[in-house]
């Protein structure tokens, strides 16, 4: 079971809303324990989740992290002197604040290893090994060695926010060596998700109640860059520095460029506008020309075809 995303109707994913609905419903049908509870007010639920997560982080500690970045988190016993996740400094607790569904969410996470390879965007495919637990320690999901890459857009929103902060690893397969191929130096961490960044009122299995906060430890082995709108530009280039691809659009339809086949809204497809007339293939992104006298690349300039 993958941490598939819940039903979502964010404005910038309108084009995929029907697909998301089908995927989410199919995921629920695969598990007899899956269900959907009546939706609560997201802001009110988030306040309750903040309290639950902060209590967890202040009453649990990192018992160990091994050489493969497997982490063991335990509850601090009564009168115990262990330093909490909240206060420990070996793996300083990080936070990312995002606004989704008109609610400001704070996601806490730990960096066990940053990785050395590629950083994905939320539009790319990733090979991620992971373990999912509830705040009471119940393990509800475990997939240490993924068999195939998964679209990050198909996973819960917390994953879409945190996984792109890490880098993939290095694939090592020495010819003639009896040792199996493996990834090394991969990104590894832990994310602590409020229910609004996880399944909210959905449940992936009978082990999970609606509105559950979740803890995911993970390892980002590999990244497969994709071009979701098939316009000849990889998703990772469909933005500017410091702007999430989900929040970047350059025309009036409010669809983010990585899902928009006509980035400037001029009626000419991006794929057509970036075609090299000599090769009839798309220009490499860095070589896409600007219009004469202009400063924007052709596919972003509404006055240039």
DSSP tag of 255: -
Residue 1 lies in a domain: no
Alpha-carbon span 269 to 305, nearest angstrom? 9
Of residues 71 and 252, more confidence is placed in 71
Question: To which residue do tokens 């115990």 refer?
Answer: 80
**pLDDT tens readout for residues 254-267:** 899 999 999 999 99
Residue 141 lies in a domain: yes
Residue 136 exposed, middle or buried by CB count within 10 Å (0-12, 13-18, 19+) = exposed
Instruction: Tell me the two tokens of residue 199.
Output: 């399944």
Residues 149 and 288 in one domain: no
For the cut 80, the answer to whether the pLDDT of residue 11 exceeds it is: no
Strands 60-65 and 214-224: what pairing?
unpaired
Contact 243, 256 (CB under 8 A): no
CATH code of 78's domain: 3.10.50.40
Residues 247 and 186 in one domain: no
Enclosing H/E stretch for 64:
strand 60-65
Residues 282 and 201 in one domain: no
Of 214, 236, 202, residue with least CA distance to 5 = 202
Residues 104 and 162 in one domain: yes
Strand boundaries in 101-255, DSSP class E: 103-113, 125-134, 139-143, 150-151, 170-172, 182-184, 187-193, 202-203, 214-224
Instruction: Supply the range of the domain harboring residue 275.
Output: 227-305
Least confident of 5-14, 17-26, 39-48: 17-26
Contact 164, 243 (CB under 8 A): no
Alpha-carbon span 224 to 244, nearest angstrom? 18
Q: Could you tell me which residues are beta bridge partners of residue 290? A: 297
Contact 152, 162 (CB under 8 A): no
Alpha-carbon span 145 to 130, nearest angstrom? 8
Predicted pLDDT at 177: 85
Residues 121 and 202 in one domain: yes
Predicted pLDDT at 1: 55
Q: What angle do CA 224, 267, 12 make, to 5 degrees?
A: 50
**pLDDT tens readout for residues 105-138:** 999 999 999 999 999 999 999 999 999 999 999 9
Least confident of 4-8, 57-61, 73-77, 141-145: 4-8
Residues 89 and 128 in one domain: yes
What whole-number percentage of the chain has pLDDT above 90? 76
For the cut 70, the answer to whether the pLDDT of residue 25 exceeds it is: no
Residues 231 and 219 in one domain: no
Instruction: Tell me the two tokens of residue 228.
Output: 């979701």
Residues 188 and 288 in one domain: no
Alpha-carbon span 160 to 222, nearest angstrom? 15
Number of domains in the chain: 2
Alpha-carbon span 221 to 183, nearest angstrom? 6
Residue 4 lies in a domain: no
Residues 47 and 125 in one domain: yes
Average pLDDT over residues 162-167: 98
Residues 220 and 231 in one domain: no
Residues 133 and 185 in one domain: yes
Predicted pLDDT at 66: 97
**pLDDT tens readout for residues 196-207:** 999 999 988 899
Mean per-residue pLDDT of the chain: 89
Domain boundary among 224, 250, 283: 224
**pLDDT tens readout for residues 34-84:** 568 889 999 999 999 999 999 999 999 999 999 999 999 999 999 999 999
Residues 154 and 241 in one domain: no
Of residues 191 and 241, more confidence is placed in 191
Predicted pLDDT at 35: 66
Half-sphere exposure of 195 (CA within 13 A, CB side): 25
Residue 6 lies in a domain: no
What whole-number percentage of the chain has pLDDT above 70? 89
């Amino acid at each position: 079971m993958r941490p598939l995303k819940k039903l979502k109707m964010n404005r910038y994913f309108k084009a995929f809303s029907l697909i998301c609905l089908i995927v989410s419903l199919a995921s629920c049908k695969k598990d007899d324990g899956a269900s959907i509870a009546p939706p609560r007010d997201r802001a009110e639920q988030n306040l309750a989740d903040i309290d639950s997560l902060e209590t967890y982080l202040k009453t649990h500690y990192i018992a160990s992290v091994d050489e493969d970045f497997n982490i063991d988190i335990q509850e601090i016993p009564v009168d115990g002197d262990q330093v909490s996740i909240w206060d420990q400094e070996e793996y300083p607790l990080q936070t990312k604040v995002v606004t989704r569904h008109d609610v400001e969410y704070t996601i806490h996470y730990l960096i066990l290893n940053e990785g050395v390879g590629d950083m994905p965007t939320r539009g790319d495919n990733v090979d991620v090994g992971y373990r999912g637990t509830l705040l009471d320690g119940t393990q509800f999901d475990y997939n240490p060695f993924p068999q195939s890459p998964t679209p990050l857009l198909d996973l819960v929103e917390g994953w879409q926010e945190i996984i792109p902060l890490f880098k993939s690893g290095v694939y090592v397969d020495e010819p003639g060596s009896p040792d199996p191929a493996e990834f090394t130096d991969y990104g590894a961490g832990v994310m602590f998700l409020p229910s609004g960044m996880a399944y909210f009122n959905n449940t992936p299995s009978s082990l999970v109640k609606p509105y559950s906060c979740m803890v995911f430890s993970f390892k980002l082995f590999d990244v497969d860059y994709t071009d979701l709108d098939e316009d000849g530009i990889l998703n990772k280039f469909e933005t500017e520095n410091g702007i999430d691809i989900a929040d970047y659009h350059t025309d009036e339809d409010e669809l983010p460029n990585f899902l928009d086949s006509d980035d400037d809204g001029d009626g000419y497809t991006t794929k057509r506008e970036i075609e090299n007339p000599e090769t009839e293939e798309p220009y490499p992104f860095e070589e896409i020309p600007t219009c004469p006298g202009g400063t924007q690349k052709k596919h972003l300039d509404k006055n240039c075809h």
